[in-house]
Amino acid sequence: MIDGLVSGRLYGEAQIRTGQNGTRFVKCKVRATAGDGDTLFVNVIAFDDTVQAALLELSDADSVALTGALTPKVWTDRNGLVKPALDMVAHGLLTSYELRRKRNTLSGNPPNDPLPGEDVDDGG
């Protein structure tokens, strides 16, 4: 097993699924850029409730960094070209939203208060 960190952008929306044994999980795809500039798709599955909730809050093209067990795979596109892919069982993640929550929690600010230096829309 390879434990890895993958960062990229969500490709589509995360989806809730239920397994045959009744276990709830979330699936999504993340588009990551490899070192040579090629795009790599990561098929993500999450069983952890916290990771599931965070993935479901994200929208298409939101940035995310995920940690978990990786399995290398290959797939064939419509033109017959073989391309690399990764399957990941995610056990942790970080998004800009999660980072903001952590900073607010550590600073003692309520979760919805703006961070210091952040513009505030006062509705007027």
pLDDT tens digits, the chain, 124 residues: what are they?
799 999 999 999 999 999 999 999 999 999 999 888 888 999 999 999 999 999 999 999 999 999 999 999 998 999 999 988 999 999 999 887 766 766 777 777 765 555 444 555 555 4
We report the CATH number of the domain holding residue 9 as 2.40.50.140
Q: Is residue 123 part of a domain?
A: no
Q: How many CA atoms does the CB half-sphere of 32 hold within 13 Å?
A: 21
Say how many residues make up the chain.
124
Q: Is residue 56 part of a domain?
A: yes
Q: What is the number of structural domains in the chain?
A: 1
Q: Does 114 map to a domain?
A: no
For residue 53, give its domain range: 2-107
Query: Does 8 reside within a domain?
Result: yes
In a domain, 24, yes or no: yes
In a domain, 44, yes or no: yes
pTM of the model: 0.77
Residues 55-93 as b/e (b if ≥16 CB within 10 A, e otherwise) read beebeeeeebbbbbebeeeeeeeeeeeeeeebebbbeeb
Distance in angstroms (rounded) separating the CA atoms of residues 19 and 85: 23
Question: Position of tokens 């795979």?
Answer: 73
